[in-house]
Amino acid sequence: MQGVGRGCGDIGVRGAWPSAGARWLALGVVLGGVLGGSTARADLPPGFQRETVASGFHFPLAIAFMPDGRPLVAEKCGRVLAVNGSVLQTVIQLPDVNCSVELGLLGMAVRADQRHNVNHLYLCYVDSALHLRVSRFEMNGVSAVLASEEVLWYNPQTSPGSSHHGGCIMFGPDGMLYVGVGEEFESVWSQDLSVARGKVLRIAPDGSIPADNPFVGVPGVEERVWAYGFRNPFRFNFDPLDGALYVSDVGSIYWEEVSRIEKGANAGWPMMEGPHCFGQDCSGLVAPIWSYAHGDPLLSPNHDAAIIAGPVYRGTQFPAAYLGSLFVTDFPNGWVRRLVLENGAVVGDHEFLPIGEASTVADLKVGPDGCLYYVRIYTGPSGKPALYRVRYTGEGNLPPTAVASVTPAGGPPPLVATCDASGSSDPDDGPRPLTYSWEFGDGVTLKGVQVQREFTTPGVRTVRLVLNDGEATTTGDPIEIAVGVAPVASIDAPAASLVYHAGDTIEFSGSASDPDGGVLPPSAFAWEIYQAHENHLHPFASLSGQAAGSFVVPVDGHSPDHTHFRIELRVTDGDGLSTSVSRDIWPVVSVLQIDTEPSGISVMLEGSPLVTPAEYESIVNFQHTIEAPWVAWVDGRAWGFKDWGVSWENPLQFVAPEGGMSLTAHYFEYCVADLTLDQFVNGDDYDLFAGWFETGESEADLNQDGFVNGDDFDLFAEHFEEGC
């Protein structure tokens, strides 16, 4: 391994975009860590080091790289930033992006057009009219020209809800642009080839439809479709060596999965999730190469999970054993794992970062330097969203471990801050004794294990510890020093005792003052509203420049099961000092007991499979749609839907009531060949089935696998011949 482990380290702390010293959608208030402290961590495999490249983002969701190697970070509300050392430079700010809840700027790619000597920035976002679109922008240096926008693809279907839009865009090794589109909580679209939802699309860089797409020329089909049957393909990646596409499909209630997707493949949603088939026959569907259950004691101990596929590693910076490994992470659980691939199958599974160490990761990529980069939307209540890099430093001389503290971390001026690195160490006693440098970001550098600096004017200062053992350098995470006294903030409404129903309007307000009692103006206020689900947070609404506001609790859309709202207020005074406070409010729960008779038949609640019997925690006044299969198979016997007890309707729409309710789908046993339900099997049944089968009607799907094919014909023929 001579020479391995120095590639991305050579960028240097003082280079054009320095190696800073040192995991979806807004979760880390309850899971994340705090920036600062050690960067060479024992939780990584030996020889690896994690670094903070940059912080200070607002909901960073995607990473891309310029041809010169500079990272770009896309924020949820439409801003793209170039990372240039400690400086974040705006590349573009989209003016027409809806970033409420889980909408917003979701995916990004960069491509160099050598023929025209221009770089293009590709963005996937939800516009103000609630259409998912993919646009291309010309680059002028490090800036994207807003007026140059070309809309390459525009989903004519408006988004019916606020979640599960997909949004990943990436160029494949074939030079084509691939686009992940979620089913947006309406699973019926995933198997419908006439629409884009629930699909992976493939388009040319100019937006045209490649002639070799699998469904080109098929009447009534969306010709951009490359693969279908997805729930929320939020992230996918290609193996640069063989072009294989690996898609992570975020699961619903039971499973998370990664699949190897080929041209025209059907990933199976909603008939299948993970390895579990909810129908009778899933043999024609693509089985995942790797999956795990919600509640898995190692990967999802809190029954909360959302998988994100990272890259297949083909760089030169990591050891040879890592070549061809697929990196995956889990949004709320915060681990990173390395899956060893062999002929497209997973033959090994290794922990790379343990649970909790990479929570809220929204994107994970290999940079041009061969290092692994990822963005975390949140890093805890005292930290900031950040871009991280993991590099291999080698198995020879180990880099120093940086442990830094500042005491006091804040106070009124004049403030004498003591910076202490005495907890730092060199695990293998490098070539020379450690040197300690403290970089304050304003041109001042102090040397020593412990140094002091006096600050006489209010404001937020930043310091980073740099260690060197004569060969390896470790740069610590940035530590903020708040010079001055932070403002006092409070949330005055709603009361902590408030409970809400679906459809309620929640009024919120706050107040803030300077230490001298001066009231801070509304311009000092910034609000974030989150929908908390299980152990993670979904961004719901943002508001700034106002001391009060309101939001409406949805009556449909995102699953209400085990959810509540968090209201967070951050106030910032004229010196840049901030204080954050938050308040959780809780719903009036309506418990739904859902079953079938006979029990064990899977039903669809809001388009997601639910294995009966089940208990579901809804919210009073939430509007539900539940559907039972018209034909179900239990132990090889056919059962036909009769009613829900309260109604003959199927699907059944209902509102979750006070005190909860029980719903049972009743079935009667019947002969699968008695399609007329007249208790006789004769030519009428044959003619009926033949007509359905010839035209591909869903009524001919006797085995309920989502397809009308020879399996259904054989099933009908068998029972028709037996007369039962």
Long-range contacts of the stretch 628-633 (C-beta < 8 A, 24+): 628/596, 628/601, 628/603, 628/604, 628/665, 629/601, 629/602, 629/603, 629/704, 631/672, 631/702, 631/704, 632/596, 632/601, 632/667, 632/704, 633/280, 633/703, 633/704
Over residues 435-447, the pLDDT tens digits come to: 999 999 899 999 9
Question: Per mean pLDDT, which range of 298-307, 329-338, 462-471, 667-676 is the poorest?
Answer: 667-676
Give the mean pLDDT of the chain.
89
Q: What local confidence, expressed as pLDDT, does residue 260 receive?
A: 98
Please choose, from the candidates 165, 103, 102, 110, the residue with its C-alpha nearest in 3D space to the C-alpha of residue 128: 103
Q: What local confidence, expressed as pLDDT, does residue 279 receive?
A: 77
Task: Provide Rg for the chain, Cα atoms.
Answer: 28
Cite the beta strand spans of 253-306 per DSSP E: 255-261, 272-273, 276-277, 290-293
The domain made up of 590-722 is a member of CATH 2.60.40: yes
Q: What distance in Å separates the CA atoms of residue 240 and residue 366, rounded to the nearest whole number?
A: 11
**CB 174 within 8 Å of CB 145:** no
Q: What local confidence, expressed as pLDDT, does residue 167 receive?
A: 95
Question: Higher model confidence: residue 92 or residue 690?
Answer: 92
Question: Per mean pLDDT, which range of 13-17, 60-64, 153-157, 416-420 is the poorest?
Answer: 13-17
Q: What is the architecture, at CATH level 2, of domain 8-391?
A: 6 Propeller (2.120)
With cut-offs at 50, 70 and 90, classify the pLDDT of residue 283: confident
Judged against a pLDDT cut of 90, whether residue 318 lies above it is answered with yes
Percent of the chain with pLDDT over 90: 69
Judged against a pLDDT cut of 70, whether residue 384 lies above it is answered with yes
Question: Higher model confidence: residue 17 or residue 609?
Answer: 609
- pTM of structure: 0.85
Q: Which residues of 437-465 are buried (b: 16+ CB within 10 A; e: fewer)?
A: bbbbeeeeeeeeeebebebeebebbebbb
Q: What is the architecture, at CATH level 2, of domain 488-587?
A: Sandwich (2.60)
Average pLDDT over residues 340-350: 96
CA dist 75 to 228, 274, 524, Å? 28, 30, 22
Q: What local confidence, expressed as pLDDT, does residue 152 receive?
A: 98
Record: fold of 405-483:
Immunoglobulin-like (2.60.40)
Average pLDDT over residues 473-495: 93
Phi-psi region for residue 189, left (φ > 0), alpha (ψ -120 to 50) or beta? Answer: alpha
Instruction: Using the Cα atoms of residue 92, residue 94, residue 99 and residue 102 in order, give the sign of their dihedral.
Output: negative
CA dist 146 to 79, 80, 91, 263, 297, Å? 12, 12, 10, 34, 48
Judged against a pLDDT cut of 50, whether residue 17 lies above it is answered with no
| Residue 371, token pair as written in the block | 């290092």
Q: What distance in Å separates the CA atoms of residue 605 and residue 293, rounded to the nearest whole number?
A: 19
**CB 5 within 8 Å of CB 394:** yes
Q: What distance in Å separates the CA atoms of residue 75 and residue 605, rounded to the nearest whole number?
A: 32
With cut-offs at 50, 70 and 90, classify the pLDDT of residue 94: very high
Question: Higher model confidence: residue 533 or residue 127?
Answer: 127
Judged against a pLDDT cut of 60, whether residue 66 lies above it is answered with yes
Over residues 427-482, the pLDDT tens digits come to: 888 789 999 999 998 999 999 999 999 999 999 999 999 999 998 888 888 899 99
Question: Per mean pLDDT, which range of 142-151, 393-402, 551-560 is the poorest?
Answer: 393-402
Average pLDDT over residues 124-135: 95
Containing 683, the helix (H) or strand (E) segment is: helix 683-695
Q: Let me know if 76 is exposed, middle or buried by CB neighbors in 10 A (0-12, 13-18, 19+).
A: buried
Question: Per mean pLDDT, which range of 227-231, 487-491, 699-703 is the poorest?
Answer: 699-703
Average pLDDT over residues 678-687: 84
Strand partners, 509: 493, 548
DSSP 392-446: E--SSSPPPBP--EEESSEESSSEEEEEE-TT-B-TT--SS--EEEEE-SSS-EE
Please choose, from the candidates 424, 421, 416, 372, the residue with its C-alpha nearest in 3D space to the C-alpha of residue 399: 424
Percent of the chain with pLDDT over 70: 93
Judged against a pLDDT cut of 70, whether residue 290 lies above it is answered with yes
CA dist 643 to 418, 598, 608, 624, Å? 73, 13, 20, 17
Indicate if 590-722 has the same CATH topology as 8-391: no
Q: Which residue has the tokens 């960028």?
A: 11
Over residues 537-557, the pLDDT tens digits come to: 888 889 999 999 999 999 988
Average pLDDT over residues 202-216: 97
Domain ranges of the chain: 8-391, 405-483, 488-587, 590-722
